[in-house]
Amino acid sequence: QKEVEQDPGPLSVPEGAIVSLNCTYSNSAFQYFMWYRQYSRKGPELLMYTYSSGNKEDGRFTAQVDKSSKYISLFIRDSQPSDSATYLCAMRPRGAGNMLTFGGGTRLMVKP
Amino acid sequence: DTEVTQTPKHLVMGMTNKKSLKCEQHMGHRAMYWYKQKAKKPPELMFVYSYEKLSINESVPSRFSPECPNSSLLNLHLHALQPEDSALYLCASSQPRGASSYEQYFGPGTRLTVT
């Protein structure tokens, strides 16, 4: 079993829809959680960064962490075709140096 | 400014060639990373430099040789690569361990093809 599980998709939604992307993890020591967006053949772009449990909002994006369930989510409101990309979750324990554990990525397609 | 730059964008090399990939950041980060990413897979960590010293080598073959000349620059020297080394090579940077935040910022990558 992988430490971080993420549905590979593809997830196809119409423009304007609310998108929910999720990761589950098994290591209860994970404390820092990140979401990256990666366009085809480009480097990952950091979208959201959260510490421990709770919600964080930035524009159309909301990141949620539920440590009791070992479950994190990224919500995208009013999705746009430009949001079509692969979304990677990443996480790391506190005090574990600099190593991130990535999910496999979910490919999102937003259709006009 | 959260920009990490990488050169070249694309590189095609033969198995007997020697080439180098370059990475630069001006965010004052003291940790820098090399990752390898194959199609439809997440990035795989290769090396970590912290304060210009190699701190993590994820059992990478010796045909990959990293170098950190100063706190802003990171190189990856390539020699005698194999076709299976063809991938997107990503550089990233962050504050080092002990800092208040650890988020890693990635460059655009170098797409390497080994023929």
Q: What pLDDT digit, counting tens, does each position of A19-41 carry?
A: 999 999 999 989 899 999 999 98
In chain A, how long is the greatest CA-to-CA distance? Answer: 44
Q: What angle do CA B42, B45, B51 make, to 5 degrees?
A: 140
Q: What is the pLDDT of residues A66-95, one digit of tens each?
A: 999 999 999 999 999 999 999 999 998 876
CB-nearest to A43 from B42, B97, B108 is B108
Asked if B90 lies within 8 A of A43 by C-beta distance, the reply is yes
Q: Which two tokens stand for residue A89?
A: 């979750």
Residue position matching structure tokens 């772009």:
A45
Asked if B2 lies within 8 A of A46 by C-beta distance, the reply is yes
- Amino acid identity of residue B23, one-letter, is C
For residues B76-87, give the mean pLDDT. Answer: 96
Q: What's the pLDDT at B66?
A: 97
Which residues are bridge partners to B31 per DSSP?
Answer: B50, B94
CA distance A63 to A65: 7
B87 has pLDDT over 90: yes
Q: What 8-state DSSP symbol labels residue A41?
A: T
CB-nearest to B42 from A43, A98, A102 is A102
For residues B66-80, give the mean pLDDT. Answer: 96
Is the bond leading into B69 cis (omega within 30 degrees of zero)?
no
Q: What's the pLDDT at B100?
A: 62
- Phi then psi for residue B83, to 5 deg, are -55, -30
Tell me the shortest Cα–Cα distance from A103 to chain B, in angstroms: 7
Is residue A40 within 8 angstroms of chain B, CB to CB?
A: no
